[in-house]
């Protein structure tokens, strides 16, 4: 009777064990499936996290660049404001300077005319004509104030050169009694001013005190002729003996 009971017992327990095994396998399969799904979810989350981190880093870099650019723009705007303020100041200064330079130019022209009229008659006609042209230039709207001022300064420079150079020219000289004579004129700065007729037979010197031409005797002929040759570069530099054309005040 005992063997029969064992068989019966095994027969009863076998189906139960088989069901438990199948349940365990099913649970394992479900667990594996759930694990695979979870792993995919984790992988997907990790990828998303990496992408998000990369995006955050990119946005951080862009923000940094935008801040640098913003600071750059602010610096440009500040510089432009400063430049505008400087330009406005310059415009105002130019306006004030222009208002002051125009009367100055007229004063300079009056002074230039006075210099020419009271100076030795060196190229007198040309110098007076230059002053007249400058005065006619002043009211012209097609010439800038800067150009007018430049030409006036140029005229003053020419006047300065007359006082430092040795030169000759042909022109008319007034000998008194309204007598005009074509002559060769030589000037040594403003120290000496002499003349001779075109045939080189008569000689004169400018008397600065009496403001007239004064006749020279023949003893001065050789020195004056040598001075003309030197001025025209016909001879080598040498000492000159010439009559002076200074006023008493200038001679002191």
CA geometry: angle 3, 8, 9, nearest 5 deg: 95
Q: Are residues 173 and 148 located together in one domain of the fold?
A: no
pLDDT of residue 5: 46
CA dihedral 5, 10, 15, 19 (to 10 degrees): 130
Q: Are residues 72 and 155 located together in one domain of the fold?
A: yes
pLDDT of residue 115: 93
Q: For the beta carbon of residue 213, count every other beta carbon within 10 angstroms.
A: 22
pLDDT of residue 44: 80
Q: What range defines the domain where residue 84 resides? A: 60-162
pLDDT of residue 13: 55
In a domain, 224, yes or no: yes
Q: Are residues 66 and 155 located together in one domain of the fold?
A: yes
Q: Total domain count for the chain?
A: 2
Q: Are residues 85 and 150 located together in one domain of the fold?
A: yes
Last residue of one domain, picked from the residues 147, 162, 177: 162
Helices marked H in the chain: 2-118, 124-137, 145-162, 221-231, 248-251
Q: CA 152 to CA 60: how far, in whole Å?
A: 66
Last residue of one domain, picked from the residues 129, 162, 195: 162
The pLDDT profile of the chain, 252 residues, written as one tens digit per residue, is 445 544 445 455 555 556 677 777 777 787 778 777 778 887 787 788 888 888 888 878 877 886 787 787 778 778 867 877 776 776 667 666 677 889 999 999 999 999 999 999 999 999 999 999 999 999 999 999 999 999 999 999 999 998 889 999 999 999 877 788 999 999 999 999 999 999 999 999 999 999 999 999 888 999 999 999 999 999 999 898 999 988 876 766
Q: Are residues 73 and 146 located together in one domain of the fold?
A: yes
């Amino acid at each position: 009777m005992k063997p029969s009971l064992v068989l019966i017992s095994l027969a009863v327990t076998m189906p139960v064990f088989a069901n438990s095994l199948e349940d365990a396998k099913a649970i394992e399969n479900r667990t594996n499936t759930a694990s695979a799904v979870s792993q995919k979810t984790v992988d997907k989350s990790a990828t998303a996290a990496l992408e998000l981190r990369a995006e955050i880093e990119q946005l951080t870099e862009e923000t940094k660049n935008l801040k640098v650019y913003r600071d750059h723009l602010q610096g440009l705007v500040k510089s432009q404001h400063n430049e505008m303020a400087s330009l406005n100041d310059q415009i105002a200064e130019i306006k004030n300077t222009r208002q002051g330079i125009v009367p100055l130019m007229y004063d300079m022209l009056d002074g230039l005319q006075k210099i020419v009229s009271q100076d030795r008659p060196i190229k007198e006609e040309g110098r007076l004509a230059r002053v007249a042209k400058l005065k006619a230039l002043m009211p012209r709207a097609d010439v800038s104030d800067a150009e007018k001022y430049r030409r006036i300064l140029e005229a003053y420079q020419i006047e300065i050169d007359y006082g430092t150079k040795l030169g000759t020219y042909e022109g008319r000289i007034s000998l008194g009694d309204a007598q005009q004579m074509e002559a060769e004129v030589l000037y040594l700065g403003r120290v000496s001013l002499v003349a001779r007729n075109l045939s080189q037979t008569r000689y004169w010197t400018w008397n600065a005190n009496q403001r007239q031409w004064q006749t020279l005797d023949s003893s001065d002929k050789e020195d004056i002729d040598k001075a003309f040759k030197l001025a025209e570069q016909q001879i080598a530099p040498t000492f000159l003996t010439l009559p002076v054309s200074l006023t008493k005040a200038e001679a002191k």
